[in-house]
Amino acid sequence: MKQDSSELQAQVEALRTDARRELPQLKGLEACEGFRVRYLGRKGMITRLFELMKSLPPEARPAAGKLLNRAKRELEQALGERQQQIRLSSQAQQLEAEALDVTLPGRPVALGHLHLMSQTLREIYRIFARLGFQMERTREVESDEYNFQLLNIPPGHPARDMWSTFYTTRPGLLLRTHTSPGQIRVMRRYAPQPVRAILPGKCYRYEQVDATHEMQFYQVEGLAVGREITMAHLKGVLIEFVRQLFGQERRVELRASYFPFTEPSLEVAMDCIACGGRGCRICSGTGWLEILGSGMVHPVVLQNGGYDPDLFSGFAFGIGPERVAMLKYHIEDIRLFYSNDLRFTEQFG
């Protein structure tokens, strides 16, 4: 019987040795679980030793029980420590893998710049500011009355064919086809005081879009109303504008034209900036580039604006900034302004 007890002791010792060797080799929590089942599980080695103990003589059992219980606690504790080690080291590995180098320089935030259209508009504003023109805001959604009728274009007038637009579901309300209705709004704002203003903003037309036509574009309207304003003033302002924008050497030609709201009407052209007037692809071989429409404000329009046409006169003009930018920067397709292609916009930073 003594023999059996010491045999049990030897087995416990062997089990301890095995466990001590195995534990440090357990690589993950799953391996730990396997270890637990093998040593401490319900059919594990410790359980088997407890069963063996039953065959010891009764007086040897308490000591053997103590021995086994101690061995069991030791194993549980050693396993617990190993599991904890594994958890910590996998956490450390994860931290290492996700390490953040706080000494790296930050990524620079890309700073944008003004779009070429904004730049062009501002250049135009600056020129007219120097010429004494103030800036007036006018609306993009207009009435048929302002967009057409008050500008001498009654329903059925053939000039309406030049300005086909988008209509809203409210009868008589449309997207303006030009900034000219702003003339009436500004005159009504200031009459009978004299006024000298530019009215920039977006316009809309129902167009077949191509390289030179968009259905949305800018205009910069100009208006000067006062006593004794003459065509000489119109001429001086527009020639100065063209030369400040395109170079002092520009030759400017004023040609008779027609608009229902100006009388007389003029078209302003300059010698081609690409060929200097010899004739090229840009000016379609003519040597000249038309750049804006203008004229003396029609007496009926003055009256609609609240001025007495016997005492007041004025001039008006309409500039297409997209066309200005296309000429100045050799841009061949108006659609580039509104397609938001960075390869285009970034060229003008």
Task: Name which position in 259, 307, 312, 337 contacts ligand PHE (CB under 6 A).
Answer: 259
Neighbouring-strand partners of residue 141: 175
Query: Smallest distance from the beta carbon of 322 to ligand PHE, in angstroms?
Result: 13
CA distance 147 to 170: 15
List binders of ligand PHE among 130-149 (CB under 6 A). none
Closest to 195 in 3D by CA, of 313, 283, 69: 313
Contact 172, 110 (CB under 8 A): no
Q: Least distance to ligand PHE from the beta carbon of 268, Å?
A: 10
Nearer to ligand PHE, 60 or 300 (CB): 300
- Binding residue (CB under 6 A) for ligand PHE from 182, 200, 201, 293: 293
57 vs 220: CA distance, rounded Å: 114
Q: Is 180 in the site for ligand PHE (CB under 6 A)?
A: yes
152 counts as binding ligand PHE under rule CB under 6 A? no
Interaction of residue 178 with ligand PHE, rule CB under 6 A = yes
Query: Least distance (Å) from ligand PHE to the CB of residue 320?
Result: 8
Q: Which of 120, 152, 294, 304 binds ligand PHE (CB under 6 A)?
A: 294
- Whichever of 165 and 262 has its CB closer to ligand PHE, that residue is 262
- The first and second tokens of residue 202, run together, are 């977006």
Q: How far is the CB of 150 from ligand PHE (least distance, A)?
A: 13
CB atoms within 10 A of CB 249: 9
Q: Which residues, at least 6 apart from 309, have a Cβ–Cβ distance to it below 8 Å?
A: 299, 300, 302, 303
To the nearest whole angstrom, how small is the minimum distance from the Cβ of residue 149 to ligand PHE?
15
Query: Considering only CA atoms, which of 255, 196, 191 is closest in space to residue 221?
Result: 196
Q: Which is nearer to ligand PHE, 261 or 337 (CB)?
A: 261
Site mask for ligand PHE (CB under 6 A), range 305-324, x = bound: -----------xxx------
163: nearest Cα among 190, 153, 210, 10 = 153
CA atoms within 13 A on the CB side of 135: 13
Q: Six-digit token pair at 124?
A: 């135009």
Binding site for ligand PHE (CB under 6 A): 178, 180, 221, 259, 262, 293-295, 316-318
